[in-house]
Amino acid sequence: MRRRLFNILAAVSLVMCVATAVLWVRSYFVGDQWRWIGDRQLGRGKHLWLLTAGTGKIYWMSAVNDYVSPPSFAHRQLKLPVRVFTMTAMLSAKPPSDEIAVLGFAVMTFDGYPVLSSDHSRPPTSPLCRVWAIPLWFPAGAFAVMPLCCLKAVVRHRRHQERVTRGCCSVCGYDLRASTDRCPECGTAIRARAEVV
C-alpha cells in the first residue's frame, strides 16, 4: 500500500514538473495572469490577488483596490515584449519602495498603484501592495525530486534482480556460481538456491 501511494505521488509530481516546465518556457513568450477579487470589504476597497507568469517567474501580488465589480475570478494573456516584462511594466507603476531579491526570488513592497483604481485621476487607494516573485526553475526542480527518487528505486531493483538471475552477488555483482556459503568479494551470505534438475 505504501509503495502504491509513493508511485501515485511520484506520477502526480511528474505531471506537475512537466506542467511547470511548460509554463516556464511559455512565460518567455506569453504572459499569463489570473486575477481574483475577494468579496470582503477592506476599508474603501476589496482585496485583489494577481498571479502572473512571465519571463521565467511567477509573481503573486496582494493589494486592496476600489473596483466596483463583484467578487470574480478571471484569466487573461499579457502580450508584452519579453525584455520589457517586469512587475513594474506589467502594472504600469513606479519602482518598489522596498525590495529583497536573492537567486531570482524577490519580495517587493509598493506604496500603491494608480492602475488598481477605477478612477485614474486620483491617487491610488492601496496603501500597501506586496509582490512575491518565485523563479519557475524552483518548483520545476522541487516537483522533479520524487520522480527521480522513484526512478532510482526502479533502477536499483532491476539491477538487483538481474544480478540474482545471472547468479551474481546482489550487493557487489561478483560471480557466485563456484561459491556456496558467502560471497568471496564482499562477504554477503548467499541465499539458498534451488537445484536445477
- Give the integer Cα–Cα distance in Å for 14 and 148: 9
pLDDT of residue 196: 39
Report, as ranges of residue numbers, the positions in the chain whose pLDDT lies below 70: 40-45, 65-71, 79-97, 111-128, 192-197
pLDDT of residue 15: 96
pLDDT digits (tens, 9 = 90+) for 90-143: 554 566 667 788 888 988 877 665 444 444 454 544 556 788 889 999 999 999
pLDDT of residue 116: 44
- Give the integer Cα–Cα distance in Å for 36 and 59: 14
The full set of domain ranges for the chain reads 28-135
Strand order in the sheet with 31-42: 72-78, 31-42, 45-54, 57-65, 129-135, 105-110, 98-102
Query: Look-up: residue for cell 475570478?
Result: 73
pLDDT of residue 96: 66
pLDDT of residue 44: 60
CA nearest neighbour of 58 among 136, 111, 122? 136
pLDDT of residue 12: 95
Straight-line distance from the first to the last Cα atom of the chain, in angstroms, rounded to the nearest whole number: 37
